[in-house]
Amino acid sequence: MRGAVVNCETLLVHTLVILSETGECYEMFADQLKVANNSETAELFDELAEVQHKRTGNLEKMMEGLERPHISPWDFTWDADHSPEMPTINAAVHYLMTPHQVLSLAVNVEQWAIEFFTWVDQCNSNGKGDDALRQLARQFSHDAEKFRKQLLKRQESFPPPEEGWDHDPDPPLIQE
């Protein structure tokens, strides 16, 4: 990661992008898995998308009345045109994946968020940092950790995938 998140408004915009992009990805994966007839896993992605959209809505309410700084995609602290967990999410999705794997993926996304918010807190801990920013980063980290623990608990109700879970004797054909 480059740069630093220097105030609460900037952190709020970064967090809004994280939550909304994650929700959009979960929604997209649910749609893809419905097409692949993997309905149980698709339903779980739908649930996760709904949670992310709710979290996004709550954050937008929190931001009402605040002036939102405009941040171009290339100027985000993570030095990419998307939040960093997106390539990880995209690489982990498979049309035969199980609910256990979906929850592992969601746990990893929340872990990345915890690390991001902890980094923001630490970058501003030199005595010159904004205490309100540090407190907000800690709150977001706490919220992500709480959700991560809920996901881990829920994951216990699904068996881990068996060896060869991704073997399909009749895989879908990709039309060009």
Distances (CA, A) of 51 to 27, 31, 56, 88, 152: 11, 16, 9, 19, 15
Closest CA to 119 of 28, 19, 2: 2
Domain positions in the chain are 8-155
How confident is the prediction for the chain on average, in pLDDT? 85
Q: What are the structure tokens assigned to 111, written together?
A: 């872990």
* pLDDT surpassing 80 at residue 153: yes
Question: Running DSSP on this structure, what letter comes out for residue 77?
Answer: T
Percent of the chain with pLDDT over 70: 84
Residue 80's pLDDT is 45
* Domain 8-155, CATH class in plain words: mainly alpha
58-93 per-position pLDDT tens digit = 999 999 998 888 877 767 776 444 465 554 666 678
Q: pTM for the full model?
A: 0.84
Residue 137's pLDDT is 93
100-119 per-position pLDDT tens digit = 999 999 999 999 999 989 98
Predicted confidence band at 176 (pLDDT cuts at 50, 70, 90)? low
130-142 per-position pLDDT tens digit = 889 999 999 999 9
